[in-house]
Amino acid sequence: MAGFVLRGDICHSVSEKRIQAVKDGFLVCEDGLSQGVFRELPERFAGLRRLDFTGELIIPGLTDLHTHASQYAIASEGLDMELIDWLNACTFPEESRFSDMGYARAVYGAFASELRRGATTRACVFATVHPRATLELMRVLDSTGLVTMAGKVSMDRNSPAALTERGPERALKNAAEWLERASDFKNTYPILTPRFIPACSDALMRGLAGLRERYDLPVQSHLSENRAEVEWVRRLCPESRSYGGAYLSRGMFGGDVRTVMAHCVWCTEEEADLLAARGVFIAHCPQSNVNLSSGIAPARAFIARGARMGLGTDVGAGCHLSVFRAMTDAVQASKLYNLYVDGARPPLTFAEAFYLGTAGGGRFFGKVGSFEPGYEFDAVVINYGAPRPNNTPSVPSINSPGDAPLVPFASSPDEPGIIKRLTKAAYLSDDRHIRAKFVRGVRLF
């Protein structure tokens, strides 16, 4: 793969608490990997093709650790309900529609198109129980050039008839047949997806653990999202010490199993310790946690334990596919946690939220989410907040996608000024401000 150099104002996390900003820096890609960020271009890279984005922000691609493509069409609906009522009234009826392949193609096509336009370059995605529709989701995601993991949902109890697979044997057969056809994609990979403990019998969970081992698969599911849900799991699994313990005893919770669990709002101290000890990734979904009255996840406490954590948009309980929005929501939610739950836990800084949306979540995919040497080259160029000569004012206008104007907010050309522009981009920019996008060293647009 040919190498190239990007020039611009480069920002990336060099630790959980620090963003490095380099004015008019050089970012080098060779063979799909970052070779690092430089203030002056080393001679050994002088012959590489240069792409000049002077005055524009260059950041790592963002990672969405948890979202539901099958709920894309109902985003914002029913958000005056709590989780279980919302699932029954909105989510399950909507997901039942994906037995219709025409409907699946329409929704998944729209979902993939929006995901491609945004700043996200990696994502973990839920489909439905329908194998054919899940393969269609994988096909359209694969065509975007993004790197994604997508899962056929498994559920054989406590669910509507249209979504309940007929016993664990049928559910496992459906999963195995899907997996046999899910390896034909270049950029999209299968991830085992039991919906959550209440919807999966013990026999199904143990059978899925066997498939996981046979195919060497990662796992995604939900954990301790809602108090009523946690109590439900306690009744279903009285032998387990916690919700996480129920997954662990069924072979689906970290260790040598690459696992991401969404929400983790109501984890006990013991369960939080288990998450950290087992290396389970937490997908922090602050917007959906508020929308469904689930609560505020203790993000600072997880960080203090050294737990692995990233961000999730959780569409459709979340209303936006923007990981930038998830960053800003995470900061806001942590302030409320500090004010009303535990004043000893300081709110997240923007630098910490940016880390969660880039390198923190990116770790689930490997060396992803940073421009440190050896990381896979995912990058997004954003033309928001670029300085103009003499600070000439500019009035933003609504143009076609990808044609938004440069917006002059930064008067300072130094590195703190660049980070201020990054913060403004996170809070205020939209897809129109994305100038270019690279995944694994390939330019998508």
Per-residue pLDDT reduced to its tens digit, 119-163 = 999 999 999 999 999 999 999 999 999 999 999 999 999 999 999
Tokens, residue 340: 């009303």
Task: Return the pLDDT at 105.
Answer: 98
Give the integer Cα–Cα distance in Å for 108 and 113. 8
Mean pLDDT for 209-215 is 96
Mean pLDDT for 166-178 is 96
Total-model pTM:
0.94
Mean pLDDT for 385-413 is 43
pLDDT value at 394 more than 70: no
The mean predicted confidence, pLDDT, of the chain is 93
Q: Is 188 helix (H, G, I), strand (E, B) or coil?
A: strand
> Using one digit for the tens of pLDDT, what is the confidence trace for 52-90?
999 999 999 999 999 999 999 999 999 999 999 999 999
Burial degree of 392 (CB within 10 A; 0-12, 13-18, 19+): exposed
Task: Return the pLDDT at 315.
Answer: 98
Q: Hey, what CATH topology would domain 4-60+370-443 get?
A: Urease, subunit C; domain 1 (2.30.40)
Task: Return the pLDDT at 262.
Answer: 98
Burial degree of 398 (CB within 10 A; 0-12, 13-18, 19+): exposed
Cβ atoms of residues 367 and 60 within 8 Å: no
pLDDT value at 389 more than 70: no
Task: Return the pLDDT at 398.
Answer: 31
Would the CA dihedral through 163, 166, 171, 176 be positive or negative? Answer: negative
Cβ atoms of residues 346 and 352 within 8 Å: no
Task: Return the pLDDT at 386.
Answer: 56
Phi and psi torsions of 339, nearest 5°: -75, -40
> Using one digit for the tens of pLDDT, what is the confidence trace for 318-344?
999 999 999 999 999 999 999 999 999
Would the CA dihedral through 146, 151, 152, 153 be positive or negative? Answer: negative
Count helices and strands (H / E) in the chain: 15, 17
Cβ atoms of residues 150 and 141 within 8 Å: yes
pLDDT band for position 401 (50/70/90)? very low
**DSSP for residue 348:** P
pLDDT value at 402 more than 80: no
pLDDT band for position 414 (50/70/90)? low
Cβ atoms of residues 377 and 34 within 8 Å: yes
Give the integer Cα–Cα distance in Å for 51 and 260. 36
> Using one digit for the tens of pLDDT, what is the confidence trace for 237-289?
999 999 999 999 999 999 999 999 999 999 999 999 999 999 999 999 999 99
The percentage of residues in the chain with a pLDDT greater than 70, rounded to a whole number, is: 93
CATH class for the region spanning 62-365: alpha beta
> Using one digit for the tens of pLDDT, what is the confidence trace for 297-314?
999 999 999 999 999 999
The domains of the chain are located at 4-60+370-443, 62-365
> Where does residue 254 fall: left (phi above 0), alpha (psi -120 to 50 degrees), or beta otherwise?
left
The percentage of residues in the chain with a pLDDT greater than 90, rounded to a whole number, is: 91
pLDDT value at 409 more than 70: no
Task: Return the pLDDT at 1.
Answer: 59
